[in-house]
Amino acid sequence: MMMGKPIIASNISDIPIILDNGKCGLLVRPGSIDDLKEKIEYLLDNTKKGLKFGRNAKKRYKEKYSYMQKEKIINEVYSRLL
């Protein structure tokens, strides 16, 4: 996400939430080689969509998962504890 690349990941756990329910990349059925193959081919055939996924991923990373965001959260916790 940090590198602004489209993501292909398994549709398990919190991954759909992290990928903003498909706005940052594509989700595949766990263990499905055919589904993975289809998603890779889709990105190869749809470069504009891949670029959009990448832009969305980088933006989401900066807003939610960057070190700066984590630092803010940790500082807030410390402030409340002190």
Asked whether residue 56 is domain-assigned, the answer is yes
Q: How far is CA 16 from CA 12, 54, 74, 81, in A?
A: 7, 15, 24, 32
Read off the tokens for 5. Answer: 């690349």
> What's the confidence (pLDDT) of residue 74?
87
Asked whether residue 64 is domain-assigned, the answer is yes
Asked whether residue 2 is domain-assigned, the answer is no
Query: How far is residue 30's CA from residue 48's CA, in Å, rounded to a whole number?
Result: 26
Quick: pLDDT tens for 21-80. 899 999 999 999 999 999 999 999 999 999 999 999 999 999 998 888 778 888 888 888
Q: Which residues of 42-70 are buried (b: 16+ CB within 10 A; e: fewer)?
A: ebeeeeeebeebbebbbebbeeeeeeeee
Range of the domain at 69: 7-81
